[in-house]
């Protein structure tokens, strides 16, 4: 996003960055920046509904909204903006706000209000799941691209977009987005998927933390997009240790975001990762991240087929697939 960070590790939007004491520890452990927990459309709407509810007490839609989101009653947008300012007073590292809206007006209005708090940048969290059978992929992409143009024209702090990987051709979409005036892309967001309790026959909504192998998709797209789009890439999703960060930087990322790694370990884990990166760099003779950033992206890769279909076919054409008894292919 054009921000100078003291380390490439950014702690991503989560409950970790919603707590001032934890944020202080995150800074002490060596993080380069934090992305605060998102302000969600539902919080904004709930506050509006609650104001209206005071006036017309019997409205059913209001009642449903409050039942579905009981916990955010005291976490409206005003509190969020106030709390962003408290965060800025608490740490010196860049604080990046995060917004997840639905309606165009909300995006534009709150992007501005959040920028006015003095945050260093704003991450737009394009988290939405398809629920309309008639909407085409291209119409959704166009809406998102137009929105990015409008927001970047309106606010004067750097804007990044955190994307899902679920586009038919992520390369085209990310490239087009990178030309709207945004300063960074975060690849990728993680969707929470509902589950089913087969005893109670109920839907359940567990918080699924990432697993280490989840970062392969991010690694692929970081390498494919590196130096081929107009913005910096922040890689995210299943990054757990120093080796994972190094791989992302080799693939072309300029920074990474981590969340699950800190839930599964502790905040001090940031320091362990940074120490691991330094050890590896001195072993390899690299003095700065720039010495190896993008060294193994698609453009620089020694193996032109590394990110292609050919590797997939080659793998599946092996005579024997990996067996339970650990015999080789
Ligand atoms: C408990 C929890 C809360 C999260 N809250 C947010 C949020 O408010 N906004 C957002 O954009 N992402 C949120 N995320 C997603 C993370 O920022 C991140 O994109 C995702 O967890 C993938 O990174 P990881 O593999 O390092 O966990 C949350 C994740 C977790 C686990």
In a 10 Å sphere around its CB, with 0-12 CB exposed, 13-18 middle and 19+ buried, how is residue 67 labelled? exposed
Please check whether residue 219 lies inside any domain of the structure: yes
> Ligand 1 atom closest to Cα of 13?
17
Question: What is the CA 266 to chain-centroid distance, rounded?
Answer: 20
Which residues, including other chains, have CB under 8 Å from residue 56's CB and lie 6 or more apart?
none
Give distance in angstroms: CA of 259 to centre of ligand 1: 6
pLDDT at residue 312, rounded to an integer: 66
* Exposed e or buried b per residue across 172-195, where buried means at least 16 C-beta atoms within 10 angstroms of its C-beta: ebbbebbebbbbbbbbbbbeeeee
What's the rounded Cα separation, in Å, for the pair 262 and 240? 8
88 touches 117 (CB < 8 A): yes
Please check whether residue 110 lies inside any domain of the structure: yes
- Percent of the chain as helix, strand, coil, to the nearest 5: 45, 15, 40
Give distance in angstroms: CA of 118 to centre of ligand 1: 23
Q: How many domains does the chain have?
A: 1
SS3 297: coil
Give distance in angstroms: CA of 15 to centre of ligand 1: 8
Please check whether residue 318 lies inside any domain of the structure: no
Q: What is the mean pLDDT of the chain?
A: 89
Q: Each residue of 214-267: pLDDT tens digit?
A: 999 999 999 999 999 999 999 999 999 999 999 999 999 999 999 999 999 999
Pocket probe mutation, ligand 1, options 10, 11, 14, 161, max atoms within 8 Å of Cβ: 14
Assign 316 a pLDDT band (cuts: 50, 70, 90): low
Instruction: Output 259 or 61, whichever has higher pLDDT.
Output: 259
In a 10 Å sphere around its CB, with 0-12 CB exposed, 13-18 middle and 19+ buried, how is residue 145 labelled? middle
Assign 73 a pLDDT band (cuts: 50, 70, 90): very low
pLDDT at residue 151, rounded to an integer: 97
Give distance in angstroms: CA of 199 to centre of ligand 1: 29
> Ligand 1 atom closest to Cα of 236?
23
Query: Scanning the structure block, which residue is given the tokens 């209206």?
Result: 52
Please check whether residue 18 lies inside any domain of the structure: yes
Assign 60 a pLDDT band (cuts: 50, 70, 90): low
Domain that holds residue 53: 9-296
**In CATH, what number is assigned to the domain containing residue 235?**
3.20.20.70
Q: Each residue of 25-41: pLDDT tens digit?
A: 999 999 999 999 999 88
Q: Each residue of 116-139: pLDDT tens digit?
A: 999 999 999 997 777 889 999 999
Please check whether residue 317 lies inside any domain of the structure: no
Please check whether residue 327 lies inside any domain of the structure: no
- In the predicted model, is pLDDT for residue 94 greater than 70? yes
pTM of the model: 0.90
Please check whether residue 316 lies inside any domain of the structure: no
Query: For ligand 1, which residues put their CB under 6 angstroms from it?
Result: 12-15, 37-38, 98, 125, 162, 189-190, 207, 209-210, 236-239, 258-261
Give distance in angstroms: CA of 194 to centre of ligand 1: 16
Please check whether residue 224 lies inside any domain of the structure: yes
Pocket probe mutation, ligand 1, options 9, 10, 13, 257, max atoms within 8 Å of Cβ: 13
Which residues, including other chains, have CB under 8 Å from residue 264's CB and lie 6 or more apart?
209, 240
């Amino acid at each position: 996003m054009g921000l100078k960070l003291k380390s490439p590790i950014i702690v991503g939007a989560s409950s970790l960055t919603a707590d001032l004491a934890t944020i202080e520890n995150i800074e002490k452990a060596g993080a380069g920046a934090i992305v605060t927990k998102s302000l969600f459309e539902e919080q904004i709407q709930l506050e509006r509904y609650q104001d209206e509810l005071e006036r017309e007490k019997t409205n059913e839609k209001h009642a449903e909204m409050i039942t579905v989101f009981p916990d955010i009653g005291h976490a409206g947008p005003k509190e969020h903006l106030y709390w962003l300012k408290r965060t800025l007073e608490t740490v010196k590292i860049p604080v990046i706000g995060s917004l997840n809206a639905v309606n165009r007006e909300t995006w534009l209005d709150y992007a501005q209000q959040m920028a006015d708090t003095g945050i260093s940048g704003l991450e737009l969290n394009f988290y939405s799941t398809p629920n309309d059978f008639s909407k085409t992929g291209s119409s959704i992409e166009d809406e998102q691209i137009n929105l990015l143009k409008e927001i970047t024209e309106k606010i004067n702090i750097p804007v990044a977009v955190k994307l899902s990987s679920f586009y038919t051709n992520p390369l085209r979409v990310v490239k087009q987005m990178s030309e709207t005036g945004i300063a960074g892309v975060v690849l990728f967001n993680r969707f929470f998927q509902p589950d089913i309790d087969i005893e109670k026959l109920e839907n359940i909504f567990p918080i699924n933390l990432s697993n280490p192998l989840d970062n392969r998709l991010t690694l692929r797209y970081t390498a494919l997009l590196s130096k081929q789009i107009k913005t910096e890439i922040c890689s995210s999703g299943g990054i757990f240790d120093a080796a994972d960060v190094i791989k992302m930087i080799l693939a072309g990322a300029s920074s990474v975001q981590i969340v699950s790694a800190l839930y599964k370990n502790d905040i001090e884990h940031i320091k362990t990762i940074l120490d691991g990166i330094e050890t590896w760099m001195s072993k390899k003779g690299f003095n700065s991240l720039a010495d190896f950033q993008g060294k193994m992206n698609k453009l620089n890769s020694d193996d032109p087929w590394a990110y292609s279909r050919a590797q997939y076919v080659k793998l599946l054409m092996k005579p024997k697939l990996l067996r339970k008894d650990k015999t080789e292919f």
